Structure 1
Amino acid sequence: MATRDDQVNLNPNPTITQPIFISTPTLHSLLTHKTLIHHLQNALPSLSPTIQSPIRQTHQTSPNSSLLLMPSWSVSPSLPYIGVKLVTYHPNNSSLNLPGVHASYILFNSLTGQTLASTDATELTLYRTSCVSALASKYLSRNESEVLVMVGAGSLASHLIKAHLTVRPSVKRVVVWNRTTEKARILVEKLRGGGEYEDVCFESRGCLEEVVGLGDIVSCATNSETPMVKGAELKEGAHLDLVGSFTSSMRECDDEAIGRGRVFVDNEAALVEAGELVGAFERGVITRDQIAGNLVELMKGEKVGRTDEREVTVFKSVGSAVVDLLSAQFVYETYVNDEVHE
């Protein structure tokens, strides 16, 4: 199955006889960050109003782990699907050299209820999360951004770096910081050895305070409960991308970072789930009315993104079942179309 770098003509009504399983290796053969960004750019503004997506259910399965259920379904004939993502979160997995997040996605036909596909969605979640950040960056980071700072070196970090480089080819330097410096070094070596970015300099640094001030784009993917990024250290015109937190106790930046920037969110759930925002509301740093908009509003032109070169912008994402459904649609229909043409 060929990897796609251009638009795929998806068939909205593929016909199959048996449910399929899409493994991670197969997933890698079906999409790239570029193709998924392109699909979301086209589909999200028009189809998101047709998708019903209840607030995710979160169940504490132990003091340090949880189970999340994320259902969604579309009422549009062009998107005849019901989907559910099941996610487990085990933050202590880093000590076992395992991802902290694992996921499966089940896709159904919304007309018949037929099970269409089961996808190993751990990797799919990494793709969709990073591509959402990259889409936001198209509207919020400076066009001539040259330095990307990656805070965190977990499984999401390489995806975020690749997605941001896709929409901002002007970036020529990527600096990675992680609490465990060896993990940052390993990620940098992996990126250098990939052969995809010969014109980009990858490096790791040990002092976060020095690193943050370098970034035209600062992307954070940690499970920290204490602020990592200080607003005073952000350079003029920086774009801050906050990905890691999805509970009110998690917090990747301080109040000054929120107060300095025009803040956008991926969806309304961020207002009640993201620790950076929940805490800022409680402490009177900003009000909900001061949130500048969400991603779909940016994409539709209903909200203005970056207004000048000096402005600090902030994008906070917590994940969306809407984007999950559209990502699963892209993977499933690409797979079926491949099978039809082979």
Structure 2
Amino acid sequence: MKIISADQVDSLLDFPMLIDELARAFSGGVRAPVRHHHTVERPKGADSTMLLMPAWSDFAQDGFEGDGFMGVKIVTVSPDNNLVGKPAVMGVYLLSDGKTGEPLALIDGQKLTLWRTAAASALAGRYLARQGAASMAMIGAGKLAPYLIRAHAAVHPIRQVTLWNRNAENAEKLAMELAGEAFEVTVSEDRAAAIADADIVSAATITSQPLIEGAWLSPGTHLDLVGAFTPQLRESDDEAVRRSTLFVDTFGGALKEGGDIVQPLEAGLIDRSDVVADLAMLCKGEHAGRSDPDEITLFKSTGASLEDFAAGCLVWQRLAKPTG
């Protein structure tokens, strides 16, 4: 069994290839049950959460060739880890042979998650962002932010990226990290102006108070909401939801876990029918995505085991058969 490090994941993946791989996975050929949540109670301090995210090749699908793969991501969330200088989220991905179950690789889970999450947002943006989108606002400057920016830039001709973060120093550090990219990067303290001027607004934060107000959105904006991964968290306000056509990565995840969708549903602001499509429907051509240049679109991502599976398989295939 191979051990594949975070650095190796970075060296083996690129966004154009991964985005296309996710599109194929969402179009069919993968079985991906809803992820398992387990609370690990602690006598002292905050409880931990264990997440199990399985997926496997769908051998029942007509035309499936080869033995395929099986995989599972094991993630733990331990809020008290910051007290000992460790990330709150830990994870590994176990990829196995689809026929024998033989373990093939143990892949760094944190890095795989960054890549697949950003690629899923960019895949959605392929259908939902305005053609020729050239400007982007990134709300949040955490580890996911540079991946989201590069992923969207792999799909659209992004020329200008504006960063906003509660801690401006962290935004400045991200701007330095992105220096030399094919787009100009600036840091702004004016969140409303950054959002109003952007074709694509991506947010990756852990906030319970919305940071994106619908009044700031210009016609044709695409909202990419990646943070706020529990029902209690939320990145967009009611007006942003009301003005937008709503899309999700998976109905099973976003309608139960994504606060940007769950809270408006519970408040009666929207109905279930207002969430018009998920990524599978977009990839299969069952929904066309954006219908008008002035339409405001909102994509809510909560993550799916299918995404990890597609990314893990691609990592293994690139490792086994490196390309030029």
Q: Give your verdict on TM over 0.5.
A: yes
Structure 2: distance between partners of 1:181 and 1:91: 24
Q: If the length of structure 1 is used for normalisation, what is the TM-score?
A: 0.86
Instruction: Give the conservation status (yes or no) of the 8 Å contact 2:46–2:79.
Output: no
**Is structure 2 residue 35 aligned with structure 1 residue 55?**
yes
Structure 1: distance between partners of 2:306 and 2:67: 12
**Is structure 2 residue 123 aligned with structure 1 residue 135?**
yes
Instruction: Give the conservation status (yes or no) of the 8 Å contact 1:24–1:123.
Output: yes
1:245: which partner in 2? 228
String of CA shifts for 1:125-166, please: whole Å, max 9, x gaps: 000000000010011010121210000000000000000000
In structure 2, relative to structure 1, the CA distance for the partners of 1:144 and 1:205 (3 Å cut) is: same
Once the two structures are TM-superposed, the CA of residue 60 in structure 1 deviates from its matched residue by 5.4
Residue identity (%) = 38
One-letter identity of the residue aligned with 1:232 = A
In structure 2, relative to structure 1, the CA distance for the partners of 1:258 and 1:78 (3 Å cut) is: farther
Structure 2: distance between partners of 1:21 and 1:85: 14
Once the two structures are TM-superposed, the CA of residue 325 in structure 1 deviates from its matched residue by 0.8
Structure 2: distance between partners of 1:315 and 1:326: 20
2:62: which partner in 1? none
Secondary structure of the equivalent of 2:178? helix
Instruction: Give the conservation status (yes or no) of the 8 Å contact 2:35–2:51.
Output: no
**Is structure 2 residue 244 aligned with structure 1 residue 257?**
no
**Is structure 2 residue 144 aligned with structure 1 residue 156?**
yes
Structure 1: distance between partners of 2:155 and 2:50: 32
**Aligned-pair RMSD on alpha carbons?**
2.1
Secondary structure of the equivalent of 1:103? strand
1:177: which partner in 2? 164
Structure 2: distance between partners of 1:302 and 1:75: 20
2:16: which partner in 1? 34
Instruction: Give the conservation status (yes or no) of the 8 Å contact 2:67–2:99.
Output: no
1:325: which partner in 2? 309
Secondary structure of the equivalent of 1:292? strand
Alignment of 1:48-127 (within 5 A): 48=30, 51-59=31-39, 63=46, 65-76=48-59, 77-78=65-66, 80-90=68-78, 99-127=87-115
Q: If the length of structure 2 is used for normalisation, what is the TM-score?
A: 0.91
Instruction: Give the conservation status (yes or no) of the 8 Å contact 1:53–1:73.
Output: no
Once the two structures are TM-superposed, the CA of residue 78 in structure 1 deviates from its matched residue by 3.7
1:229: which partner in 2? 212
Once the two structures are TM-superposed, the CA of residue 92 in structure 1 deviates from its matched residue by 7.0
Q: How many residues align?
A: 315
Alignment of 1:7-46 (within 5 A): 19-46=1-28
In structure 2, relative to structure 1, the CA distance for the partners of 1:191 and 1:95 (3 Å cut) is: farther
In structure 2, relative to structure 1, the CA distance for the partners of 1:157 and 1:332 (3 Å cut) is: same
String of CA shifts for 1:276-314, please: whole Å, max 9, x gaps: 111100111111111110011111110121111111000
Once the two structures are TM-superposed, the CA of residue 63 in structure 1 deviates from its matched residue by 3.1
String of CA shifts for 1:238-291, please: whole Å, max 9, x gaps: 000000122111111111111110000000111111111111001111111111
Secondary structure of the equivalent of 1:67? strand
1:13: which partner in 2? none
In structure 2, relative to structure 1, the CA distance for the partners of 1:78 and 1:266 (3 Å cut) is: farther
In structure 2, relative to structure 1, the CA distance for the partners of 1:166 and 1:207 (3 Å cut) is: same
One-letter identity of the residue aligned with 1:227 = P
Instruction: Give the conservation status (yes or no) of the 8 Å contact 2:175–2:187.
Output: yes
Once the two structures are TM-superposed, the CA of residue 68 in structure 1 deviates from its matched residue by 1.7
